[in-house]
């Protein structure tokens, strides 16, 4: 699904040039659950922006589903984001006075999909994200943090993207609620075969993934299979 070959990202400022990514290379297979882990300033957020087609590399090649998106125009990048990628952020970014169903169905409005089909698909993805049907007509500001994040996950799924990018999705949640949200990602990956890339600075969050890439100072310093998760699954 994803091939990154020698990705470099340099920003120009008044003070000069700063290279944030320094030749990053890796692949992600279809249906894989990967965590990108690193401290603040490591380059993980810049990498996420490139993977999410929110930015382009200064040099190197980024292939998504076989298409070279590293040199695309802004308009083409917007089309790729709309058709291929679902985003889940630390801030839930929901419309506070809209119902849960409306929040999830909103991306489909711009596709010209009928109201009946929009609601049908929103219901399916809300159930996949683990939200109880009794909450579908609540306003988003009437929900708990964990419930709002599951609504955000459903919204990310409703366009049937091939890739889900989750940027610090538990950052605004307490540990117990965060575990529930992370379990939701695991079920989406294991049961529904969704490809997920999870960006985090927390080891315990990364350990929900099958594979962990460690990034520091713009360089991948380790790429490991999560043996701990395998042992738990086997047990």
CA distance 188 to 24: 27
pLDDT at 228: 61
CA distance 182 to 227: 18
pLDDT at 196: 95
Q: For 130-137, what is the mean pLDDT?
A: 94
Model pLDDT for residues 112-133, shown as the tens digit of each residue: 899 999 999 999 999 999 999 9
Of the candidates 147, 189, 136, which has an alpha carbon nearest to the alpha carbon of residue 164? 189
pLDDT at 72: 87
**In the block, which residue shows the tokens 């307490």?**
174
Superfamily of segment(s) 30-42+81-234: P-loop containing nucleotide triphosphate hydrolases (3.40.50.300)
State the CB neighbour count (10 A cutoff) for residue 21: 26
**In the block, which residue shows the tokens 């089909």?**
117
Model pLDDT for residues 190-226, shown as the tens digit of each residue: 988 889 999 999 999 999 999 999 999 999 999 998 7
**Tally of residues, the chain:** 235
CA distance 102 to 111: 15
Model pLDDT for residues 160-192, shown as the tens digit of each residue: 898 999 999 998 888 999 999 999 999 999 988
Confidence class for position 110, pLDDT limits 50, 70, 90: confident
pLDDT at 210: 94
- DSSP class of residue 166 equals E
């Amino acid at each position: 699904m994803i091939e990154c070959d020698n990705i470099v990202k340099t920003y120009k400022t008044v003070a000069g040039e700063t290279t944030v990514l320094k030749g990053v290379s890796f692949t992600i297979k279809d249906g894989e659950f990967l965590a990108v882990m690193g401290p603040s300033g490591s380059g993980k957020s810049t990498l996420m922006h490139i993977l999410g087609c929110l930015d382009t590399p200064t040099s190197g090649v980024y292939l998504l589903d076989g298409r070279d998106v590293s040199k695309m125009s802004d308009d083409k990048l917007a089309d790729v984001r709309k058709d291929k990628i679902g985003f889940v952020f630390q801030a839930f970014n929901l419309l506070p006075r809209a119902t849960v169903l409306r929040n999830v169905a909103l991306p489909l409005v711009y596709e010209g999909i009928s109201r009946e089909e929009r609601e049908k698909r929103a219901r399916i993805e809300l159930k996949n994200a683990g939200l109880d049907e009794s909450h579908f007509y609540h306003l988003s500001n009437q929900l708990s943090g964990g419930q709002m994040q599951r609504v955000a996950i459903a919204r990310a799924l409703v366009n049937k993207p091939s890739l889900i990018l989750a940027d610090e999705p538990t950052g605004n949640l307490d540990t117990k609620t965060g575990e529930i949200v992370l379990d939701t990602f695991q079920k989406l990956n294991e049961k529904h075969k969704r490809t997920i890339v999870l960006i985090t600075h927390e080891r315990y969050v990364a350990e929900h993934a099958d594979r962990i890439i460690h990034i520091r100072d713009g360089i991948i310093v380790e790429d490991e299979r999560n043996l701990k998760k395998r042992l738990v699954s086997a047990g």
